[in-house]
Amino acid sequence: MPHPQVVPDEYVAALRAYLTGDPGYDELSQRLADRDGDEGGNVYAALLGMTFLIAARRRFPTYTSADLIRFVARTRADTGPAGAGVDPQIAERTLRGALGEPSAIDGIADITRATAIMMLLPALLTNDGARLAELDALLAGARTQADRALWARHGQTMDQP
């Protein structure tokens, strides 16, 4: 079981495997899910969310609605049936949420948003021209942010009466 406030190395490795198309990703993620359950899922979600936020802001330092619509459409078109099955408005709102419009994700279930992020994130990095070294730096930054977020979340829980 991972410490609830710290992202373990294996989780960074799992996300890296997903983003690089490593065939070992499915086995690794399943092993971590079986071992760590919901608590691990929360930690992984924090890492995934922070990685998405950083990647989205790098890809879209400024944007118009049309930019986001076209990006989501291109990504869905390029990812076959899995991408076509993602609701485009959910994907656009998820992207807006990462770009500084927090109200955009109101009412979207965490699992639904995570599905959209898993589709969008590789495309954000591809379009960013990220090389492996850059990916590792990005993941390291995301991990630091996720650690802080987990600390903050844990602290809030402890402070409650």
Partner 1 sequence: MAVTDQQAAMLHAYLTGDAATHAQLRSQPAPADGGAGYGALFGAAFCVAVERRFAPNDSPAAVIEFVADVRSRSDSLASKIDPAAAEKLIRAVYTDELIGDLDRETRLLTQYLLLGALVADEHLDDRGLNEFVGEARKLADQWLSQSG
Q: Under the criterion CB under 8 A, does residue 27 sit at the interface with partner 1?
A: no
Min dist CB 90 to partner 1, Å, is 9
Min dist CB 93 to partner 1, Å, is 12
CA distance 7 to 42: 10
- Taking CB under 8 A as the criterion, which residues in 70-89 touch partner 1? 70, 72-74, 76-78, 81, 84, 87-89
Residue in 61, 57, 94, 58 with CA at minimum distance from that of residue 75: 94
Eight-state DSSP code of residue 153: H
Token representation of residue 48: 């995934």
Min dist CB 62 to partner 1, Å, is 16
Q: Where are the beta strands (DSSP E) in the chain?
A: none
For partner 1, the binding residue among 61, 66, 111, 160 (CB under 8 A) is 66
Count the neighbouring beta carbons within 10 Å of the beta carbon of residue 58. Answer: 15
Does residue 42 contact residue 2 with C-beta atoms inside 8 Å?
Answer: no
Min dist CB 115 to partner 1, Å, is 14
CA distance 71 to 120: 9
- Considering only 13-21, 48-56, 63-71, 150-158, which stretch makes contact with partner 1 by CB under 8 A? 63-71
Token representation of residue 155: 């602290």
Question: x/- site string to partner 1, residues 86 to 125, per CB under 8 A?
Answer: -xxx------------------------------------
Residue numbers at the binding site for partner 1 (CB under 8 A): 65-66, 69-70, 72-74, 76-78, 81, 84, 87-89
